[in-house]
Structure 1
Amino acid sequence: MQRVTGEAWTWSDHPRHQSSPYPSYMSTGQYVHGQDHLQPRMEGAAKMTPLTPPSPFLSSQARRDTTPDEWETFREYRAILNPHLTHESRRMSHSKQNMEVMTPLIENPGGVGQEEDNSEEDQDPELLPVRHYELGNSHQGITFTQALIHLLKGNIGTGLLGLPLAVRNAGVIVGPLCLVLMGVVCVHCMHILVNCSHHLCERLKRPPLGYSDTVAFSMEHSSYQCFRKSARFGRHLVNFFLVLTQLGFCSAYFVFLAENIKQVVEGYQGVNITLAAESLSFANTSMVPAPVPLPTMVPSEPWALDLRLYMLFFLPFLILLVFMKDLKNMAVLSLLANVCMAVSVIIIFQYITTDFGDLHRLPLTSPLGKFPFFFGTAIFAFEGIGVVLPLENQMKEPKRFPTALNIGMGITIVLYVVLATLGYLHFGDDIKGSITLNLPHNAWTNQMVKILYSFGVFVSFAIQFFVPAEIMIPPVQARLRKSWRAPCEMILRGLLVCLTFSFAVLIPRLDLVISLVGAVSSSALALVFPPLVELITFSDRPLKPAMLVKDLVIAVVGFIGFLAGTYVTLAEIVSPEEPPEVIREAAQNLTVAAATAVAGALGMSEELGGNWTTPTAAVTLG
């Protein structure tokens, strides 16, 4: 065998390096694996002159020619390279990296009712969470600009394309104004959640808390015994709505992909049929064709497939996509998806600004019975509260996070209002559940918009799916034998994707799926829980009347929106032709009750002399 001299050998020097069973990180003798990254090996080990390791794939004669000293040297060298890392520890390492990527919505260890069995010696101090009161001297974390970009990525998604329909359900004047108001209130609720998390971390000397942790600890340390007994229930309730929201997003993605690709495929068929008909009309004619009327476009209805078949087409690909558990491997796909979605939005803006039509044809306000649809769609778009706490926890300068939050959400609100208003002005009452569905088929740029945005949504499916998978699968795996855990995880992931597919098949309308998910789960996470958490967290001190009224108004409006939006959307699903008049009257009564509650609370806050006199000032708090 050939002895390799020098500082290091590589597997490329070996004639059988491509079939070597050893891990890829053993590709050089200058490094060893430790603590999730490659580190230079010991100085003493660097002085060794390693041998090319005998491959088990060599012939028996070559293996017999290997001397015992060469075998012993190779064993020592392999021990230096990889003293302890096993397949299971590598799997846990990748799982931990995934959790660092998606910490936004998943609770941290050490929650209520959990005992810390591990000693301090078993924990790596570099892997412990960074505490709020230790962040001042830390040089690790994300910058102000990175936090701003993550905020924009976490809030701008498929909900953006459904906002023009939301404006139609509220009116060309009332819709944009209510969008601004709802955005300001959602930003204020984000500030509330961050302030409560800060207060609990400093009070309890806890590491940074997630959404469910903040709710659980605020209830556990409340001055009221009824809340202390229900702390575990509060954690499970928040996790339930998190799972419901994320799976609802995935169902909306199913419908979005199916509707857009259906338009691309069948629109392309229609164009081809038209061109074929035109070419046949000029066949066997002279150079100057006679004025024979051209045949009209052959309808493509016989070629049309049901929307559910397109969903079924995407099902196996999405199942394979969620089997990719290491989100680090999806970094390139995620970057491409963001670029594709940004390009699509730019093209959409370019198209809708060309013509606004007759503005007088659009109603300034819509009937109150349609307002719950507006509420569900708008709150679906603004439900980005889950990404707030992890971004604040990971910043180098957490004190600057309120500024980043105001700037990022300000840009989001402006983008939402402009696209929603211009889209409704351009397409009028013909606007559909996604503005991409209104783009005509006669331009390749419009078709490219649907394909690019569909690719971005396809990649986002796996990211949105990660949260419910990490909440629901580990408790099931803990009850199984170790050998059954990996197959069980694959089966459960596939079943969860099939669950979202089934929901999309039952409600194959994108506008109704978005409205239902927004009304049921997003309203609770974005509007109901944060003000109640603030009241519970600071229940040990005298509450200002203005803060009490403000929090109660936000929670009540969110709860009424939850009831009205869910009721009206389900009624539309059951009777899509025309909802009964009793349903519209009920929706109007609920909407009037919400408006009356808001007006009364604002008047009460002015009488109390509070510092929260208008909803617009809410964004400056926190």
Structure 2
Amino acid sequence: MANAAEESHPPSTLHSKSSLYIYDPYEKRTVLVPLNNFDAFISLLKCVIGTGILAMPLAIRYSGVVAGALLSVFLMILLTYCIHLLITGMTECCRRIEVPQVSMPEAVRIAYELGPGCVHCFARVAGFFTSCVLAFGQFGLCCVYIVFVSKNFKEIGDYYLKDYNERYYVLCVCVLQLPFIMIRKLKFLVPLNLISNILLYAGFLCIMYYLFRGLPNLQEREMFKPPTNWMMFFGIAAFSLTAVGSMLVVEANMSHPESYLGFFGVLNLAVFCILCSNIFFGIMGYWRYGEHVEASITLNIPQNEVLSQFIKASIALGIFLSYPLNGFVFTTVVFSDYGKEGKEGSSRNRRCALEILVRLCFLLCTGIVAAVVPNLAALTELEGAFSLCNLNLLCPALIDMFVNYDVGYGRLRWKLIRDILIIILGIIFGIVGCTVAIRQLVDDLSRLQQNKS
């Protein structure tokens, strides 16, 4: 993703299927500071494990214990399969135009040019729209991070200090984030990701003390909730189970990207760990707190105990250190279609200055949104539903559909049928999930206005 194609390729320059046997993009790929497989595994865990796992008890509350576990497995299989489909399609786009790497927007543009003639005119628009969706997804994710960190540190501050407005905590989080958001190489973020994972898992382990203490009878909890509530589950669970932009950036910066996919590849191993953690944490949180579970389980634990304050501080710091990785993904999306940095010193300096400006604006804008919209649950559902629809389902299916247009869809056109089903699922999830989340945000803002008046 970091090394996008340097220029547009009209349909006439696209190669046929035979290029699959001539050009291997993995052999041609060069990364200045590459990730080894362990670095990639740690970064993948960091991409996904964060505020989402803390919201899983709320997701289980909407679905029920058994339904939630089954739907989590189904959703993770679906999303992981689509990530495989997406990366395979992007790799094939590289083979067709014989470049080492393409960004996701560039892959969408190339796929449209490979598809039927009626969609060729939409190629550039589709690529630009994909860039906007990727950027918006990372923006929403970072807004959720700032809200989460601010809320947890506010609870600690309210106990030891005065009851300050949450916006002051948002301001402090943004100021402290300044040096970290300026890190420009993914390899240099690995130590932060490792520290963040340690802090998060330390906090998760300590939360078990509260989750296992005073557990009610499991029969008091619902095993299946009405399917009308499941869309709320999908929105939250999608947010907690995947992060397409970050996953693509990790793959693009690996020294051995061929190890990323496969049954025992880096992606599948990380996904398995994430799935087990989410299901266990979600069920235990709902079992312990039932219908009173909050948007983040850290908001349910006591405020006046040393252990609970350590948990909130540990997890909040872990999420705080997660922000730079997602800010890096946003910057990568913004600059991916500009190609490589210029060779001249003045060109490199201009690009560096522009990138610093973009990072500062990104931090400022996420801080403003976090200060204005403090509803963590609704933000989580909106970001999850939006990303699930566009990045996890629609883009992989469309790329695969158009890339295979001139080579065939297999026996009984099963690939085409598969892609159409994924597109239908994506549209349903997107419309219903985003509508529910936006309605919650509007109601929340209305209540805030009423309280002020």
Give the TM interval when normalised to the shorter protein. Answer: 0.7 to 0.9
* Residue pair 1:200, 1:217 contacting (<8 A) in 2 also: yes
* Residue pair 1:257, 1:457 contacting (<8 A) in 2 also: yes
Of 498, 520, 524, 2:386 maps to 520
Which residue of 2 is the match for residue 126 of structure 1? none
* Residue pair 2:5, 2:101 contacting (<8 A) in 1 also: no
Which residue of 1 is the match for residue 13 of structure 2? none
Of 394, 400, 415, 1:534 maps to 400
Structure with greater helix percent = 2
Of 40, 48, 56, 1:163 maps to 56
Task: Give the aligned residue type for 2:384.
Answer: G
Q: Distance in 1 between matches of 2:218 and 2:444?
A: 28
Which residue of 1 is the match for residue 147 of structure 2? 255
Q: Distance in 1 between matches of 2:248 and 2:187?
A: 21
* Residue pair 1:107, 1:212 contacting (<8 A) in 2 also: no
Q: How does 1:561-572 map to 2 (within 5 A)?
A: 561-572=429-440
Q: How does 1:595-614 map to 2 (within 5 A)?
A: none
Higher mean Cα deviation, 559-568 or 440-449? 440-449
* Residue pair 1:379, 1:523 contacting (<8 A) in 2 also: no
Shift of 1:186: 0.5
Which residue of 1 is the match for residue 105 of structure 2? 212
Which residue of 1 is the match for residue 234 of structure 2? 375
Which residue of 1 is the match for residue 416 of structure 2? 548
Compute the TM-score of the two structures, normalised by the length of structure 1. Answer: 0.61
Higher mean Cα deviation, 332-341 or 549-558? 332-341
Shift of 1:182: 0.4
Which residue of 1 is the match for residue 284 of structure 2? 422
Of 258, 266, 274, 1:398 maps to 258
Q: Distance in 2 between matches of 1:390 and 1:469?
A: 11
Q: How does 1:427-446 map to 2 (within 5 A)?
A: 427-446=289-308
2:70 is the counterpart of 1:177: yes
* Residue pair 1:165, 1:432 contacting (<8 A) in 2 also: yes
Q: Distance in 1 between matches of 2:397 and 2:390?
A: 11
2:83 is the counterpart of 1:190: yes
Task: Give the aligned residue type for 2:381.
Answer: S
Structure of higher RCO (CA pairs closer than 8 Å, 6+ residues apart): 2
Per-residue CA shift, 1:123-144, capped at 9, x if unaligned? xxxxxx9823568xxxx97555
Shift of 1:311: 1.4
2:135 is the counterpart of 1:239: no
- Segments of 5+ residues of structure 2 without an aligned counterpart are 11-22, 448-453
Select the structure of larger CA radius of gyration: 1
Q: Distance in 1 between matches of 2:92 and 2:362?
A: 36
Q: Distance in 2 between matches of 1:238 and 1:365?
A: 36
Compute the TM-score of the two structures, normalised by the length of structure 2. Answer: 0.82
Per-residue CA shift, 1:538-558, capped at 9, x if unaligned? 011332443322222222112
Shift of 1:211: 2.1
Q: Distance in 2 between matches of 1:568 and 1:107?
A: 37
Shift of 1:327: 5.6
Question: What is the CA RMSD across the aligned residues, in angstroms?
Answer: 3.3
Shift of 1:392: 4.7
* Residue pair 1:107, 1:213 contacting (<8 A) in 2 also: no
Q: Distance in 2 between matches of 1:250 and 1:163?
A: 18
Q: How does 1:31-430 map to 2 (within 5 A)?
A: 103=1, 106=2, 108-112=4-8, 131-132=25-26, 144-222=37-115, 224-268=116-160, 303-325=162-184, 330-389=189-248, 391-392=250-251, 394-396=254-256, 398=258, 401-402=261-262, 403-404=264-265, 405-430=267-292
Higher mean Cα deviation, 231-240 or 465-474? 465-474
Q: Distance in 1 between matches of 2:350 and 2:90?
A: 38
Task: Give the aligned residue type for 1:255.
Answer: V
Per-residue CA shift, 1:309-331, capped at 9, x if unaligned? 32133233234543454566555
* Residue pair 1:519, 1:562 contacting (<8 A) in 2 also: yes
- Alpha carbons of structure 1 residues 569 and 182: separation in structure 2 relative to 1, 3 Å: same
Q: Number of residues paired by the alignment?
A: 422
Q: Distance in 2 between matches of 1:448 and 1:336?
A: 16
Per-residue CA shift, 1:263-302, capped at 9, x if unaligned? 1122345xxxxxxxxxxxxxxxxxxxxxxxxxxxxxxxxx
* Residue pair 1:341, 1:456 contacting (<8 A) in 2 also: yes
Per-residue CA shift, 1:37-82, capped at 9, x if unaligned? xxxxxxxxxxxxxxxxxxxxxxxxxxxxxxxxxxxxxxxxxxxxxx
Q: Percent identity?
A: 24
Higher mean Cα deviation, 210-219 or 481-490? 481-490
Per-residue CA shift, 1:168-211, capped at 9, x if unaligned? 11222222211111001001101111221333333433213332
Task: Give the aligned residue type for 1:234.
Answer: A
* Residue pair 1:515, 1:569 contacting (<8 A) in 2 also: yes
Q: Distance in 2 between matches of 1:130 and 1:164?
A: 44
Per-residue CA shift, 1:445-466, capped at 9, x if unaligned? 2211111121122222222112
Shift of 1:146: 4.6
Which residue of 1 is the match for residue 364 of structure 2? 498
Secondary structure in 2 aligned to 1:575? Answer: helix
Task: Give the aligned residue type for 1:132.
Answer: Y
Secondary structure in 2 aligned to 1:209? Answer: coil
